[in-house]
Amino acid sequence: MKKLLYTFALTLTAFLIIYSCSAEEDNTPPPSIIQTPEPETPATTQYTLEVTSGEGGTVSTEGGTYDEGTQITITATPAEGYEFVGWEGSNSNSNSLTVTLNGNTSVQAIFLPETFLENRESIELCKIDRFHGGIGFGFPKYLYSLPSTGNLKFTIIFVDFDDSPATATIDEMKQLIEPISKSFYSSSSYGKLNVQFDAINKWMRMTKNSGEYNMRRDVSSGEFHYNYLSEALNLADLEYDFSNSDLFVVITNPDTENIDYGPAYIGNDYWNFQADGKTFYTSTSSGYDLNIWGGLWLNHEVGHLMGLPDLYNYSGLPTWHGYAGQFSLMGLISGKAPDLFGYEKWMLGWLDDAQIFCAQNGTSIVDIHPIESTDTGTKIVVLPISDNKSLVIESRKSILVDENLTEEGILIYQVDSSIRSGEGCLEVLPSNRRNEGKIDLLLKEGDILSINGYSIEVLLQSDLFDRISIVKE
Ligand SMILES: [Zn+2]
């Protein structure tokens, strides 16, 4: 067909040339030529606006060519069964968008099926059940956990020993712990947990030598720890009123090598502590390793008391930090990004259900706000895999608690309530247990990760939020 058309066009041209030649041979005067003036160059620059609409709706204009600075208002209208979610090419989420043309511009209205709405409403399906007794991932939190929101009063008891008398002053010890622990809570909890520290301002001398408490990592047990904490509480109770206290924390003289670590104690109806009419189900004491960890040690242990599991690998094989890398102080306390994972914050009540996007079906496009930003926007996207396992997506940036983070981007991890504390109950994806950094796994704009039947793409990165799409394959 194309060939035929060419042939016809050639024939026509040839005919016209012949006609023109024969006309020139006549002596009739040439027809007067009407000259069309050249169009004047416009005084103002013009730009084009291209407006398109994704599946599921229409836009009020297709755009066109306009003078520089022209303002055009575009309205996006969803079709039945769809909702408008935003514009490709603009940060606005309003369905009425006013564009000021200062360059060639193209915008596309994005609509999503109502499964998007259903996903947002299916939050309970994204809460995995807690599986084991004791601390671990899942809802609800362990029965005997310390509350994690509201106003809590932590009473600090300082203890030393005849064979290991304290050399640091109480003020030095308070400076080591309080400021950093306190600012972590106010920042990481978005002000939802307010901890007041109340210290007993003296070193209390324990009755036995430090080694007699069996508080070394390799020999200690829950019972030894219970006895140690009980003695410290009973000494302090002689001169302190615990009736308004929510937790007692024992700070061991940090020179004491016989007490090399500072574990968490989580009791029950039979194993708990009593003072001034108050029952304490949980407590913690520090050890020699406080010298390594500093004040965030307390936030790690209190994280356990509030129900959070350990994220490092108890076996150390092939590495200690191959699950969570540098993220969350429930893994490596001295990591570059010690702020908790969004899922941990959700369990603690620091994130509301309204800040979780539960993406179950179809396609979702979600603007997720950095985990540390104080706004109330969506902070994590949860993708259910099974009753006990979910994928989680969040945005990490180098602000506040995570200020030492060297890269920014989208982090994807899985939480599994059937895996115990210290055995990989949270793992940053893609899995590589020899990688103890994980910062290189932060996804950037344009990156796609396909995992567990979901395809996750980073559409846009900005200071305020990152826009991602999730497609259930
Ligand atoms: Zn721990």
Q: How close is the Cα of 334 to the center of ligand 1, in Å?
A: 13
Q: Evaluate whether residue 40 is within a structural domain.
A: no
Q: How close is the Cα of 265 to the center of ligand 1, in Å?
A: 10
Phi, psi of 226, deg, nearest 5: -60, -45
CA angle 75, 81, 83 (to 5 degrees): 40
pLDDT at 328: 98
Please name every residue paired with 87 in a beta bridge, in sequence order, or none if there are none.
109
Residue 57: which domain range? 46-113
Q: How close is the Cα of 398 to the center of ligand 1, in Å?
A: 24
- For residue 258, give the nearest of 196, 210, 223 by alpha carbon: 210
**Whether residue 124 sits in one domain with residue 103:** no
For the chain, state the CA radius of gyration: 33
Q: How close is the Cα of 75 to the center of ligand 1, in Å?
A: 53
User: Rounded to whole angstroms, how far apart are CA atoms 110 and 93?
Assistant: 10
- For residue 116, give the nearest of 297, 362, 314, 283 by alpha carbon: 362
Q: How close is the Cα of 300 to the center of ligand 1, in Å?
A: 6
Q: How close is the Cα of 113 to the center of ligand 1, in Å?
A: 43
User: Rounded to whole angstroms, how far apart are CA atoms 195 and 154?
Assistant: 7
Q: Evaluate whether residue 33 is within a structural domain.
A: no
Q: How close is the Cα of 448 to the center of ligand 1, in Å?
A: 33
Boundary of a domain, candidates 275, 305, 335: 305
pLDDT at 39: 54
Q: How close is the Cα of 226 to the center of ligand 1, in Å?
A: 17
Contact in structure between 309 and 330 (CB atoms under 8 Å): yes
Q: How close is the Cα of 367 to the center of ligand 1, in Å?
A: 33
DSSP alpha helix (H) spans, 211-319: 222-237, 290-293, 296-305
Q: How close is the Cα of 201 to the center of ligand 1, in Å?
A: 27
DSSP-derived letter for residue 294 is T
DSSP-derived letter for residue 401 is G
**Whether residue 450 sits in one domain with residue 409:** yes
Can you spell out the DSSP letters for 378-396?
Answer: --EEEEEEETTEEEEEEEE
**Whether residue 180 sits in one domain with residue 50:** no
**Whether residue 432 sits in one domain with residue 367:** yes
**Whether residue 237 sits in one domain with residue 157:** yes
**Whether residue 301 sits in one domain with residue 194:** yes
Please name every residue paired with 460 in a beta bridge, in sequence order, or none if there are none.
467
Q: Evaluate whether residue 240 is within a structural domain.
A: yes
Q: Evaluate whether residue 6 is within a structural domain.
A: no
Contact in structure between 373 and 399 (CB atoms under 8 Å): yes
Q: How close is the Cα of 186 to the center of ligand 1, in Å?
A: 21
Q: How close is the Cα of 381 to the center of ligand 1, in Å?
A: 26
Q: 3-class DSSP state for residue 193?
A: strand
Q: Evaluate whether residue 139 is within a structural domain.
A: no
User: Rounded to whole angstroms, how far apart are CA atoms 285 and 296?
Assistant: 13
Q: How close is the Cα of 304 to the center of ligand 1, in Å?
A: 7
Q: Evaluate whether residue 198 is within a structural domain.
A: yes
What CATH number does the domain containing 228 carry? 3.40.390
Contact in structure between 331 and 324 (CB atoms under 8 Å): yes
Phi, psi of 300, deg, nearest 5: -65, -55
**Whether residue 464 sits in one domain with residue 379:** yes
Residues with CB under 5 A from ligand 1 (ion): 310
**Whether residue 240 sits in one domain with residue 158:** yes
**How many folded domains does the chain comprise?**
3
Mind listing the pLDDT tens digit of every residue in the chain (473 residues)? 344 434 334 333 333 333 333 334 445 544 455 555 555 555 788 999 999 998 889 999 999 999 999 999 999 999 988 888 888 888 888 899 999 999 999 999 988 777 666 655 678 888 998 877 789 999 998 999 999 999 999 999 999 999 999 999 999 999 999 999 999 999 999 999 999 999 999 999 999 999 999 999 988 899 999 999 999 999 999 999 999 999 999 999 999 999 999 999 999 999 999 999 999 999 999 999 999 999 999 999 999 999 999 999 999 999 999 999 999 999 999 999 999 999 999 999 999 998 999 987 778 899 999 999 998 889 999 999 998 999 999 999 999 999 999 999 999 999 999 999 999 999 999 999 999 999 999 999 999 999 999 999 999 999 999 999 999 88
Q: How close is the Cα of 401 to the center of ligand 1, in Å?
A: 19
**Whether residue 351 sits in one domain with residue 270:** no
pLDDT at 93: 81
Residue 340, sorted as left (phi over 0), alpha (psi -120 to 50) or beta, turns out to be: beta
Contact in structure between 228 and 250 (CB atoms under 8 Å): yes
**Whether residue 222 sits in one domain with residue 94:** no
**Whether residue 459 sits in one domain with residue 362:** yes
**Whether residue 337 sits in one domain with residue 206:** no
Q: What is the pTM of this model?
A: 0.77
- Which strand ranges, in their side-by-side order, compose the sheet holding 247-252? 193-205, 150-160, 247-252, 282-285, 264-266
Q: How close is the Cα of 420 to the center of ligand 1, in Å?
A: 12
Distances (CA, A) of 224 to 197, 216, 227, 230, 339: 26, 10, 5, 10, 31
Q: How close is the Cα of 309 to the center of ligand 1, in Å?
A: 7
Q: Evaluate whether residue 249 is within a structural domain.
A: yes
Contact in structure between 285 and 232 (CB atoms under 8 Å): yes
Are β-strands 448-451 and 426-428 bridged in parallel, bridged antiparallel, or unpaired?
Answer: unpaired
Q: Evaluate whether residue 279 is within a structural domain.
A: yes
Please name every residue paired with 276 in a beta bridge, in sequence order, or none if there are none.
none
Q: How close is the Cα of 303 to the center of ligand 1, in Å?
A: 8
Q: How close is the Cα of 305 to the center of ligand 1, in Å?
A: 10
User: Rounded to whole angstroms, how far apart are CA atoms 179 and 136?
Assistant: 28
